[in-house]
Amino acid sequence: MKSMTAEQRNHMLLCDPVSRVIPKLAVPTIISMLITNIYNMADTFFVSQIGTSASGAVGVIFSAMAIIQAVSFMIGMGAGTHVSQALGAGNREKADAYASTSFFTAFIAGVILAFFSLTNIDAVVRFLGSTETIAPYAKDYATYIFYAMPFMMCSFVMNNLLRFEGLTMYGMVGITAGGILNIVLDPILIFALDMGTAGAALATALSQVVSFCILLTMCNTKADALSIRFSHFKPSLRIYGGICYNGIPSLGRQGIASISNILLNNAAGVYGDAAIAAMSIVCRYAMFINSSVIGFGQGFQPVCGAAFGAKQTARCQEAYRFCQRVAIAFSLAAGLAFFIFAPALAARFAPDAQSAEAARRALRLQSVAFPAQSAVILMTMLTQAMGLTLRASLVATSRQALFFLPLLAVLPRLFGLWGLLACQSASDLAALGFSLALTRGLRGSSSARCGCSDARTACRSHPRSSF
């Protein structure tokens, strides 16, 4: 990627047509997220060859990895919002402080969480939903994942920072390199070296360390990127307050989703290891689709953050509507494809016929809700990029906190396994209605394309819409 000056980057974010700049920023992020999901699916695929309990173990520990990601995204996206707004306002010093403080905070938090998890690993895997037969495999898998936790968290933070700077290509390089390494190492460690589930975890851990090293090198050697320096590490209530304020929606969305997955695993355990394995398969496919939408939305956030920092609220809305059209069209097509090919997709990763049948049912139910998921994701990103924390938090957490958890308590009791499988899609549809009502004023205003004088000046928007 050709290096840009701060003025050139601001010109791109504030002045280039949104239909050009958002895909330019989004494609590398989408590739990064798809690669991440592909190597997670590779773990599922290779481990499923071992057996049902081993496959279930990957799904169980995925909940822990989701918690790690939730905390990391809170720090990275919370800081990234301030970084993009500071760069949009021309305040490089503030951007440097938020970037470095978020990195070192993530590393410290990762060390603390890793120590706690490793010293209480038996209790942790049972808490995550392991059955007696799954627990030994889950411990083997979790051990290496927990050792790599500080590097994993820092990688997520740096990837988010680069994205908010408009440098998504750099993040893609780091994530892709780690993902390819993971896919290559999986069969070698699992089968050739006979390490089983521990081999899959070691492959993931090593790939995360490699991604960490590449991303840190990118940050500290590229002239157009904010460098990670200990001298810029400025822990203060003001900075941490800013990170938490803007990062809470991400933590809410992903944290509650992680808790929901844990409760789902525990609820599925009533129906045996096959049900846990089936839900793991469906979650992998749903994450694969959602990652494309999230990646596209993350191409939107730097544009919206910079525009909002430059007082160009109309451009925020223009960018949002463009992303909404693309995401809904994509999710409709993906939902149709997954509904039609659900039997083949389920069988691909299922360790046995019982798991395949349960996964087929759940996948078809989930495919119906893909467009609803996409819409809610984009509404969360819109409100978050604008710094509307309360609204963003409500949108982000509505799916899990307001709808999924109550439905999980009711539907399985009424409809058995079918009720369990329908919980996620039903909560997605309910969250869509709630989020549409909550963001009505933000989405419906008219906007006009801003004008731009030159690369060194911010665009001046036409009469702005009110938020």
Q: Which residues contact residue 143 at a Cβ distance below 8 angstroms, ignoring those fewer than 6 apart?
A: 118, 121, 198, 201
pLDDT one-digit tens code per residue, 190-245? 999 999 999 999 999 999 999 999 999 999 988 888 889 998 898 999 999 989 88
Place of tokens 């439905």: 407
Q: How confident is the model at residue 454 (pLDDT cuts 50, 70, 90)?
A: very low
Q: Are 72 and 157 in contact (CB under 8 A)?
A: yes
Least-confidence region, from 14-23, 264-273, 415-424:
264-273
Look up residue 81 and give its DSSP letter.
H
Q: Which residues pair with 451 in a beta bridge?
A: 460
Angstrom distance (rounded) from CA 282 to CA 358: 10
pLDDT one-digit tens code per residue, 1-31? 455 666 777 778 888 888 888 888 888 778 8
Reported as half-sphere exposure (CB side, CA atoms, 13 A), residue 367 has a value of 20
Q: Are 400 and 427 in contact (CB under 8 A)?
A: yes
Q: Region 261-273: what's the mean pLDDT?
A: 78
Angstrom distance (rounded) from CA 289 to CA 296: 11
pLDDT for res 447: 39
Count of Cβ atoms closer than 10 Å to residue 446 Cβ: 9
Task: Describe the chain by its helix, strand, coil percentages, rounded to 5.
Answer: 85, 0, 15
Q: Per the structure block, which two tokens stand in for 63?
A: 């909940």
Widest distance between CA atoms in the chain: 67
Angstrom distance (rounded) from CA 302 to CA 164: 5
Q: Is residue 230 exposed (0-12), middle (13-18) or buried (19+ Cβ within 10 Å)?
A: exposed
Q: Region 33-54: what's the mean pLDDT?
A: 79
Place of tokens 């949108």: 395
The H or E element that residue 19 is part of is helix 18-48
Q: How many helices (H) and strands (E) does the chain have?
A: 19, 0
pLDDT one-digit tens code per residue, 282-308? 877 887 788 788 878 777 877 887 787
**What sign has the CA pseudo-torsion 110, 111, 114, 115?**
negative
Q: Region 459-463: what's the mean pLDDT?
A: 41
pLDDT for res 391: 82
Q: How confident is the model at residue 443 (pLDDT cuts 50, 70, 90)?
A: low
pLDDT for res 3: 57
Q: Per the structure block, which two tokens stand in for 273?
A: 């290891």
Q: Are 113 and 97 in contact (CB under 8 A)?
A: no
Angstrom distance (rounded) from CA 321 to CA 298: 14
Q: How many residues does the chain have?
A: 467
pLDDT one-digit tens code per residue, 111-133? 999 999 999 999 999 988 888 88
Angstrom distance (rounded) from CA 150 to CA 286: 26
Q: Which residues contact residue 74 at a Cβ distance below 8 angstroms, ignoring those fewer than 6 apart?
A: 243, 244, 247, 248, 250, 251, 254, 255
pLDDT for res 28: 79
Reported as half-sphere exposure (CB side, CA atoms, 13 A), residue 454 has a value of 1
Angstrom distance (rounded) from CA 439 to CA 453: 33
Phi and psi based region of residue 233 (left: phi greater than 0; alpha: psi -120 to 50; beta: remaining): beta
Q: Are 102 and 164 in contact (CB under 8 A)?
A: no
Place of tokens 């609204």: 391
pLDDT above 90 (res 357): no
Count of Cβ atoms closer than 10 Å to residue 108 Cβ: 13
DSSP reduced 3-state for 451: strand
pLDDT one-digit tens code per residue, 311-354? 777 787 788 889 888 988 999 999 999 999 999 888 887 777 88
Angstrom distance (rounded) from CA 138 to CA 143: 9
pLDDT for res 446: 36
Q: Are 151 and 175 in contact (CB under 8 A)?
A: no
